[in-house]
Amino acid sequence: MASPSPAPSTSSSAYDTTHRAFLQSFFSHSTLTLTTARPILAAILTAASSHDDHPRTTLANDITEAEFTSYINSLNAALSPYDFEIRSAIPQTGCSNTQTQTNGERNGDTRSVAGENERIYALINTTSDPQTQLATTYTPAEIAYIKRLLDAMFETYNVQNGREICAITEMQATQLSRVTGSSSRRSMGGNSTQQQQQQQQQQQQRPTNDDDGEEDGDATAQQTQAQTQSLTLPQATTVLKTLTSTGWLTHPTSIPGAKNYYVLSPRALLELKNWLFETYNEPPDEEAEDEEGIERIKTCKGCSEIVISGQRCVDRSCGVRMHDFCVAAVMRAGAGRSTGGGERKCPQCGKGWTGREFVGVRAVKEVGERWLARHGGGAERRVNGRGREDGEEEEEEEE
C-alpha cells in the first residue's frame, strides 16, 4: 500500500516524511507501544535532521508521550480516507509482546520491551467487505478453521457450565481441525438462522443467465465446500503457530496454569471488535415479547471495551463485567453504594463484589485458584494438582 498523501491534521505538527516513515513501522510491526515506538521515532527524527544545517541526534528518552500522541493523531487523520485507523487497548491477560520484540531485534531497533500492562497500538482495517476478506494469505479451508476457533472461544467454551472462559486449550484447538456437524453450522455472517435466511434471499435474487450469476454461484459453492473441509493435524498446528507469530492469538503467560490456552490478542480484539458483536450477540426478537437477546460478547462497565479477562458480579444474571485495571476506578466512582467497612458493591445491582468471580481463563477453577494464591487472594480451596478437562462439570464441595 502506498503511503497516504498529506491530509489535514488535527495535531500541531504537519504531516511530513517523518510521519510516512513512522507509518511504515506499523506495517512492519504487529503492534507498538510507547516504549517500543520511542527508539523508532528517535531514529526517524535523527535521520530527518541529518539533512539540516545543524544535525541533531534524537534519543529514545527525548520522545515524550505528547509527541507520540501527536504522531498518532496525524496518522489517523491521513489514514481515515483509506479506511484504516490506529487504535489502542490495554492487554487484558498480561501477555508478552513477543512479535514486537522479534521484529525489533530483526530490524536492528533498540531492544525496548513493553510492559505487560502498557497500552498497545495497532494499525487496523475499519471496513469488512468481500474485497478485504479476500485479501488474505489463508486458504478458504484455513479461514473456516479460524472461524471454528472463534466459535469455540465465544460459544462452546464461553458459557459452558455458567463459566465465561473466552479461550480454548491447545488440545481443543487442534481437535477443531476436523469438521463436525456442530462446528460447521456458523459462518462469519452471523448466527445460523440469520445465515440461512440470507443465503435463501441471495439465491432468490441471484441472476441465473449471466456471467455474474455464475461467478457468484461458484464463489458460494467454494465457500460451502471450505466450511465442510477438515484440516490435517499438522496443517492445524501450522495455522495456530502462524496466528500466534503474527500477533492474532496469544497465550496468557502471566496467569499461572494458563499457558496452554489460546486467547485473542489485543490486536485481534481491536480489529474484530465490531464483527464479534455482530456475530455472537443476538438482539431480542421483536415479535416475541418475552424472549431476551443473547449477549455472548460483554463489555466493561468502566471503559466499554470487550472483556475477555477480568471480573464479574456474583450474580450471573447481572451484566456487569470489568477489566482488572478498571475495577478500582469504577469502585471509587460508585463509593456511595458501599456500606460500613468500605465493602465493595456491584455498581449496578448493589451486591457484594468479591473479586473472585472471574471472566476469562481464570474462570477455570484450578487456574483461578492458582491466580488467587499468587496474588494474595487466599483461595478457599488449595489446588490439588490434578487436572480436569474443561468440558467436565466442576462442582465445588462446601468444606
**Chain region(s) in the chain for CATH 1.10.10.10:** 140-184+228-283+297-374
From first to last of its 399 residues, what are the pLDDT tens digits of the chain? 455 544 443 334 588 899 999 999 998 887 899 999 999 999 999 998 887 777 889 999 999 999 999 999 999 999 999 889 999 998 987 654 434 343 433 334 434 444 567 899 999 888 766 556 556 788 889 999 999 999 999 988 776 666 889 999 999 999 999 887 655 444 444 444 444 444 444 444 444 445 555 554 554 555 555 557 889 999 999 999 999 998 899 998 888 888 899 999 998 999 898 889 989 988 877 666 656 778 889 999 999 999 999 999 999 888 899 999 899 888 887 654 544 456 788 988 889 998 899 999 999 888 888 888 887 654 333 333 333 433 334 433 333
Which positions ≥6 away from 397 have C-beta within 8 Å? none
Distances (CA, A) of 371 to 264, 266, 332, 347: 20, 21, 24, 24
Q: 140-184+228-283+297-374: what fold?
A: Arc Repressor Mutant, subunit A (1.10.10)
Pairing of strands 261-264, 249-250: antiparallel
**Chain region(s) in the chain for CATH 3.90.1150.220:** 17-130
Write out pLDDT tens, residues 161-199: 668 899 999 999 999 998 876 554 444 444 444 444 444
The answer to whether 119 and 32 are in contact (CB under 8 A) is no
Q: What is the 3-state secondary structure (H, E, C) of the chain?
A: CCCCCCCCCCCCCCCCHHHHHHHHHHHHCCCECHHHHHHHHHHHHHHHHCCCCCCCCCCHHHCCHHHHHHHHHHHHHHHHHHCEEEEEECCCCCCCCHHHHHHHHHCCCCCCCCCCCCCEEEEEECCCCHHHHHCCCCCHHHHHHHHHHHHHHHHHCCCHHHCCCCCEEHHHHHHCCCCCCCCCCCECCECHHHHHHHHHHHHHHCCCCCHHHHHHHHHHHHHHHHHCCCCCHHHHHHHHHHHHHCCCEECCCCCCCCCCEEEECHHHHHHHHHHHHHHHEECCCCCCCCCCCEECCCEECCCCCECCCEEECCCCCCCCEECHHHHHHHHHHCHHHCCHHHCCECCCCCCECCCCCEECHHHCHHHHHHHHHHCCCCCCCCCCCCCCCCCCCCCCCCC
pTM of the model as a whole: 0.73
Distances (CA, A) of 163 to 125, 313, 325, 390: 32, 12, 21, 10
Q: 17-130: what fold?
A: Aspartate Aminotransferase, domain 1 (3.90.1150)
* Dist CA 43 CA 57 (whole Å): 8
Which positions ≥6 away from 389 have C-beta within 8 Å? none
* Dist CA 176 CA 236 (whole Å): 8
